[in-house]
Amino acid sequence: MEVQDYEFRTGHLCVETDPALCLPCQERLDRQLALLPRVYGELEVVLVAAQDPGDRLSGTDRPGIPLNGPAVEARAAIRDTLASWADLIVEGRTVRLPLRTVPALAAFLRRHLGWLAVHPAADDAATDIDTVLRHALTVARPQQALMAMAVSVGP
């Protein structure tokens, strides 16, 4: 995983002049949508790891369900965010609803990115997806996410 995969919208102001997303913002959104299914999968690994405490001799009578709350929430946030923006596209373009899986939703959004980028809500979509990815990364890859944030806080 390379640092440039972690491009966020910190300080980007293209919407001050135009409701549409500028090309760099579209490209960043496209990369974020490409990355989200992978991070979604990594969150599942975090979950499975959390559910296997690894000390089965500890004598607790209840096999614990130490659900990793942040990972559960981050996964739900990814799914809900992608689904809600996919709904907007379905309504606006009268296209078929994609499967409600994260890879299918992300691929659908990438396919319709050009349409979404000039929609009045384009900036909200970009901000939502940026936020949900940023949060998911802090849960899935705490160390890398911290480093990347340090890198992305530039002038």
Question: CB 20 → Zn ion: shortest distance, Å?
Answer: 9
Stretch that binds Zn ion, among 17-25, 56-64, 96-104, 109-117 (CB under 5 A): 17-25
- If binding is defined by CB under 5 A, does position 25 make contact with Zn ion? yes
- If binding is defined by CB under 5 A, does position 125 make contact with Zn ion? no
Residue 5's φ and ψ, nearest 5 degrees, are -70, -15
Taking CB under 5 A as the criterion, the residue among 14, 20, 83, 104 binding Zn ion is 14
Instruction: Enumerate residues 6+ apart whose C-beta is below 8 A from 74.
Output: 43, 132, 135, 136, 139, 140
When CB distances to Zn ion are compared, the closest residue is 14
- If binding is defined by CB under 5 A, does position 77 make contact with Zn ion? no
- If binding is defined by CB under 5 A, does position 20 make contact with Zn ion? no
Taking CB under 5 A as the criterion, the residue among 5, 8, 20, 22 binding Zn ion is 22
- If binding is defined by CB under 5 A, does position 122 make contact with Zn ion? no
Q: Give the residues lining the site for Zn ion (CB under 5 A).
A: 12, 14, 22, 25
